[in-house]
Structure 1
């Protein structure tokens, strides 16, 4: 069986709704050397989905879930549940991530908001210039458009 017919057979069995998930699982087995990239992508997508599942959870300074979150607490919680331990604060999370340009960002990457050289906020990139985050006191976890160009991107591996 070739890689192409193997993927086709797999996709026909799982149906259209889970084709992307199936491809993410099948590609590492079919392409040597692709595993570590696919595993990082899968980790990030899992973390993104976990953050999205917390939609509507109230903001609380210093909280890291499971019912209340601050910005870095939501990232910490989401990645921990996905299988990766991160530092507690947004600045520490930035220092621990692999830095990348906006043109290389992918769904599940971290978006760090900064003033000068100081990171003050973090969210998880959801695509289409939007993030999942826990914004500030009096708000809830939500999907929101990135509102500034003063952002840096980081990838967790």
Structure 2
């Protein structure tokens, strides 16, 4: 094989490896099955989320928890998206905050992820339901629906992202 062709082959392999490494640094949600159609109304999304909530209501908070004996906010959001929308999200709040497109608070829709910075080192995530309500896991009350216009949540609100 001529030297120029060897160099071209090596360059092609190197480029492919670099692209693979770079793509591993970012996360795109994985759609595992038939997702909710893009044309689905906000009411349909809200209804599915509220039905899902009925199965999880008052499940206690547990840091690192992943099931009905105790669950944390990011695991609940991850499992909700997988169950309700057939979309695989990353496990941690920090990774989830990097997923999707940031939208303004005024533009939020049912199914959007709401992020809060509740302390210097702690972030919280919930799912917007419409009408200023969101679904999340409270440390004291477990899986609940809260009002976004409560002073605590207004004070700690960080951003909204859209995955759907």
Distance of 1:116 and 1:140 partners within structure 2: 19
C-alpha displacement of 1:40: 9.2
| TM-score for both structures, normalised by structure 2 | 0.62
- Bigger radius of gyration among the two: 2
Q: Counting helix residues as a fraction of each chain, which structure ranks higher?
A: 1
Q: Which ranges of structure 2 fall in alignment gaps of 5 or more residues?
A: 1-35
**Runs of 5+ consecutive residues of structure 1 not aligned to the other structure:** 1-34
Matching residue of 1:30: none
Alignment check: 8 A CA contact 1:134 1:141 kept: yes
- Tell me, in whole angstroms, the C-alpha distance in 1 between the residues paired with 2:104 and 2:88: 23
Total equivalences in the alignment: 122
TM value normalised by structure 1 = 0.65
Equivalent residue for 1:111? 114
Q: In structure 1, what is the equivalent of residue 33 of structure 2? A: none
CA distance in 2, matches of 1:111, 1:95: 12
Query: What is the RMSD of the two structures over their aligned residues, measured on CA atoms?
Result: 2.9
1:75-154 equivalences under 5 Å are 75-82=77-84, 83-114=86-117, 120-136=123-139, 138-146=140-148, 147-149=153-155, 150-154=157-161
More strand by share: 2
Distance 1:107 1:61 in 2: 26
CA distance in 2, matches of 1:43, 1:98: 21
